[in-house]
């Protein structure tokens, strides 16, 4: 069994939906996980925001706009009267459900339910299209098997048992369609796996059915050696280890959602990234054993704030770091990079929602400086195989750039340096030129 996931752009128009139908109809049994059509989840978020503010006119206008878009899709996608009617019925029923939330009580629960409509619609449209074109497909609802526990983690046992039951009911259909992103929570309410979470769904499903491969179809030919928007002549990386992919997904390479790697890694199921616009391109395969290379890729993460806490009390003291970290924990702010000296510690964060109270509390322990507008430049590779010279290569490439922090040795797969945003492009290019000599 294969699991294939298609993102919002891949199902973003009637033409793309037809293309996906052709791609999946290759005779091999598979579960197909779909995102909402591109733009839909954002529009649903906007609608929910209007409803929170009780701006019913604003919400209704947005709802009608989105509804019209879907009537257009139905009209273009289906060719027979029967399926045009089924399509219209489908859109009517989802949009009257969305409209029913325009009432005084609007909470997080209702918002989650509204957000789920995007994936429910895209999968139903795909299923109708497959049937109209004579392909054997079966739609199963992720709400019947995908579930997170009280701490927001996938409930693996529940998912496996319930997915198996759903699959048994499908009989011998070989194309099974389901939604990415949406799930139920521990209380049974509709919930989701966070924005961009369809990759995660695919990986959880792949692990639950012990798939031979999880294929993430997107609109780029795999993970690249560097950011193709900033550096010329980057190329897609044919093979990556799970650990390297996890580092890269977190840092900038928005191709794969960072959470997606873990379930596949634990179940040891290869993840392949392929390009819907260029299906014959090889893409990137992520798996356990890959030939080691010293440096695999370079990535950047924007919007970083650096915080430095300096204190004479830190000298020879124990427990200082715990106190500092506790403050970040209280404000649910995760730390990305950290460097220490005898009299100070520097950390970086990307979520500055609680920066002010964090800084105020840190003042208890010393002088504090917080400064935004940084980027983390991250070099991913295998430090084991080339521990000599790895740091030297990176630092000499960045010779002309002021570096604020360096983090080496946190894992065997990544070296990170923190520089001001204005140096991002220069840093990525200098590293590329000295590491991947063909990217000059």
Residues of this chain that interact with ligand ASP (CB under 6 A) are 7-8, 35-36, 41, 118, 180-181, 195-198
Sheet holding 414-420, edge to edge: 335-341, 344-349, 295-310, 367-381, 414-420, 405-411
Name the binder of 181 from ligand ASP, Mg ion, none, CB < 5-8 A by kind.
ligand ASP
Q: Which is nearer to ligand ASP, 41 or 429 (CB)?
A: 41
* Cα angle for residues 165, 168, 174 (degrees, 5° grid): 130
Q: Which is nearer to Mg ion, 196 or 283 (CB)?
A: 196
108-132 helix and 14-24 helix, angle to the nearest 10 degrees: 70
Q: Characterize the bridge pairing of strands 405-411 and 414-420.
A: antiparallel
Q: Which is nearer to ligand ASP, 37 or 286 (CB)?
A: 37
Q: Which stretch binds Mg ion (CB under 5 A): 46-54, 152-160, 188-196, 337-345?
A: 188-196
Of the candidates 154, 146, 183, 196, the one whose C-alpha atom is nearest the C-alpha of residue 41 is: 196
Helix (H, G, I), strand (E, B) or coil at 249: helix
Name the binder of 180 from Mg ion, ligand ASP, none, CB < 5-8 A by kind.
ligand ASP
Q: Which is nearer to ligand ASP, 255 or 375 (CB)?
A: 255
Least separation, in Å, of the C-beta of 7 and Mg ion? 5
Which class for 71: exposed (0-12), middle (13-18), buried (19 or more C-beta within 10 A)? middle
Q: Which is nearer to Mg ion, 196 or 222 (CB)?
A: 196
Q: Characterize the bridge pairing of strands 284-287 and 239-241.
A: parallel
Least separation, in Å, of the C-beta of 394 and ligand ASP? 33
Least separation, in Å, of the C-beta of 248 and Mg ion? 14
Asked if residue 196 binds Mg ion (CB under 5 A), the reply is yes
Q: Characterize the bridge pairing of strands 213-218 and 271-275.
A: parallel
Strand partners, 367: 310
Compute the chain's Rg from CA coordinates: 24
Name the binder of 195 from ligand ASP, Mg ion, none, CB < 5-8 A by kind.
ligand ASP
Q: Hey, which residues between 6 and 45 contact Mg ion (CB under 5 A)?
A: 7
Least separation, in Å, of the C-beta of 146 and ligand ASP? 13
CA dist 237 and 255 (Å) reads 13
Least separation, in Å, of the C-beta of 42 and ligand ASP? 7
Q: Which stretch binds Mg ion (CB under 5 A): 13-21, 148-156, 196-204, 370-378?
A: 196-204
Q: Under 8 Å CB-to-CB from 287, ≥6 apart: which residues? A: 239, 241, 242, 270, 271
Q: Which stretch binds Mg ion (CB under 5 A): 1-9, 160-168, 181-189, 241-249?
A: 1-9
Least separation, in Å, of the C-beta of 115 and ligand ASP? 8
CA dist 358 and 214 (Å) reads 41
Sheet holding 175-179, edge to edge: 137-139, 175-179, 30-34, 2-6, 213-218, 271-275, 284-287, 239-241
The 228-247 contact track toward Mg ion, x by CB under 5 A, reads --------------------
Least separation, in Å, of the C-beta of 385 and ligand ASP? 34
Least separation, in Å, of the C-beta of 216 and Mg ion? 8
Quick check: 139 and 103 in contact, CB under 8 A?
Answer: no
Q: Which is nearer to ligand ASP, 184 or 296 (CB)?
A: 184
Q: Which is nearer to Mg ion, 118 or 196 (CB)?
A: 196
CA dist 172 and 309 (Å) reads 62
Q: Which is nearer to ligand ASP, 8 or 222 (CB)?
A: 8
Name the binder of 36 from Mg ion, ligand ASP, none, CB < 5-8 A by kind.
ligand ASP
**Residues interacting with Mg ion, by CB under 5 A?**
7, 196
């Amino acid at each position: 069994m294969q699991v294939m996931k298609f993102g919002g752009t891949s199902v973003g128009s009637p033409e793309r939906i037809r293309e996906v139908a052709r791609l999946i109809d290759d005779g091999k049994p598979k579960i197909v996980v779909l995102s909402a059509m591109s733009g839909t989840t954002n529009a649903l978020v906007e609608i929910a925001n209007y409803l929170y503010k009780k701006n019913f006119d604003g919400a209704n206008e947005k709802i009608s706009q989105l509804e019209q878009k879907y009537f257009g899709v139905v009209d273009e996608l289906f060719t027979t009267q029967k399926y045009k009617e089924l399509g219209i019925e489908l859109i009517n029923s989802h949009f009257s459900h969305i409209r029913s939330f325009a009432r005084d009580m609007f909470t997080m629960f209702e918002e989650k339910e509204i957000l789920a409509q995007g994936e429910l619609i895209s999968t139903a449209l795909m299923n109708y299209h497959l049937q109209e074109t004579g392909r054997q497909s079966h739609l199963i609802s992720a709400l019947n098997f995908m579930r997170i526990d009280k701490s927001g983690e996938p409930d693996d046992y529940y998912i496996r048992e319930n997915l198996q039951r759903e699959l048994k009911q499908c009989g011998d259909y070989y194309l099974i369609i389901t939604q990415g992103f949406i799930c139920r929570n521990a209380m049974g309410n509709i919930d989701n796996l966070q924005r961009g979470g369809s990759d995660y769904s695919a990986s959880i499903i792949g692990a639950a059915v012990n798939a031979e491969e999880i294929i993430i179809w997107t609109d780029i030919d795999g993970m690249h050696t560097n950011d193709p928007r900033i550096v010329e002549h980057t190329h897609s990386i044919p093979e990556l280890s799970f650990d390297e992919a996890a580092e890269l997904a977190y840092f900038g390479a928005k191709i794969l959602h960072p959470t997606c790697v873990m379930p596949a890694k634990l179940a040891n199921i290869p993840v392949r990234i392929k390009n819907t616009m260029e299906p014959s391109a090889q893409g990137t395969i992520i798996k356990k054993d890959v030939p080691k290379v010293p440096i695999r890729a370079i990535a950047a993460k924007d919007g970083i704030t650096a915080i430095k806490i300096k204190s004479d009390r830190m000298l020879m003291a124990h427990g200082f770091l715990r106190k500092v970290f506790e403050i970040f924990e209280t404000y649910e702010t995760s730390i990305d990079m950290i460097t220490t000296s005898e009299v100070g510690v520097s950390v970086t964060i990307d979520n500055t929602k609680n920066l002010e109270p964090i800084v105020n509390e840190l003042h208890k322990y010393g002088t504090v400086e917080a400064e935004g507008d940084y980027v983390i430049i991250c070099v991913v590779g295998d430090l084991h195989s080339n521990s000599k010279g790895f740091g030297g290569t990176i630092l000499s490439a960045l010779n002309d750039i002021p570096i604020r922090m360096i983090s080496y040795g946190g894992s065997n797969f990544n070296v990170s340096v923190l520089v001001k945003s204005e140096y991002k492009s220069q840093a990525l290019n200098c590293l590329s030129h000295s590491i991947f000599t063909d990217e000059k």
